[in-house]
């Protein structure tokens, strides 16, 4: 089981690579940095803020089963491509950076929900988030 030791959101003093999408985190960009322990080994996971949000949505919806290993890079990238192909229309080749940006915008408005008509997941759908706005 993975144990979260510390989570914080610093500004990058140098370029890093996002552990989810494997694209650059630019110097000066605020990013998610999480110190984790797995099998008594401590390591740091770095990710774009929007990739972290997409990963959380994928795990909360059950689309990615984090089991004991968490959401791996391969799980994340494969799931993002599948969800993007299912819900977002695109022309031609699209980069992982564009896929994760599109999904972060989509998940800001919609929750990803399992479709379980008979108690078994047969697919996923988007459900509009309810906002509690005070005027």
Q: Give the number of domains in the chain.
A: 1
User: Looking at the domain assignment, is residue 134 inside a domain?
Assistant: no
User: Looking at the domain assignment, is residue 67 inside a domain?
Assistant: yes
Structure confidence by residue, pLDDT tens digits, 11-68: 999 999 999 999 999 999 999 999 999 888 999 999 999 999 999 999 989 898 877 6
User: Looking at the domain assignment, is residue 70 inside a domain?
Assistant: yes
What one-character-per-residue DSSP string does 60-123 give?
HTTSS--TTT-S-HHHHHHHHHHHHHHH----S---HHHHHHHHHHHHHHEEEEEE-TTSS--E
User: Looking at the domain assignment, is residue 86 inside a domain?
Assistant: yes
- For residue 44, give both structure tokens: 């740091």
User: Looking at the domain assignment, is residue 30 inside a domain?
Assistant: yes
Give the residue numbers spanning the domain of 15.
Answer: 3-128
């Amino acid at each position: 089981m993975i144990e979260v030791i510390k989570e914080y959101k610093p500004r990058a003093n140098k370029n890093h690579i996002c552990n989810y999408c494997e694209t650059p985190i630019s110097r000066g960009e605020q990013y998610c940095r999480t110190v984790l322990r797995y099998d008594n080994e401590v390591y740091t996971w770095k990710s774009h803020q929007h990739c972290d949000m997409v990963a959380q949505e994928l795990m909360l919806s059950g689309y990615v089963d984090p089991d004991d290993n968490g959401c791996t890079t391969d799980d994340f990238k494969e799931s993002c491509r599948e969800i993007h192909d299912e819900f977002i229309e695109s022309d031609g080749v699209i980069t992982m950076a564009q896929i994760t940006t599109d999904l972060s915008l989509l998940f800001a408005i919609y929750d990803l929900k399992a479709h379980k008509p008979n108690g078994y997941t047969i697919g996923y759908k988007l459900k509009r988030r309810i906002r509690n706005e005070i005027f």
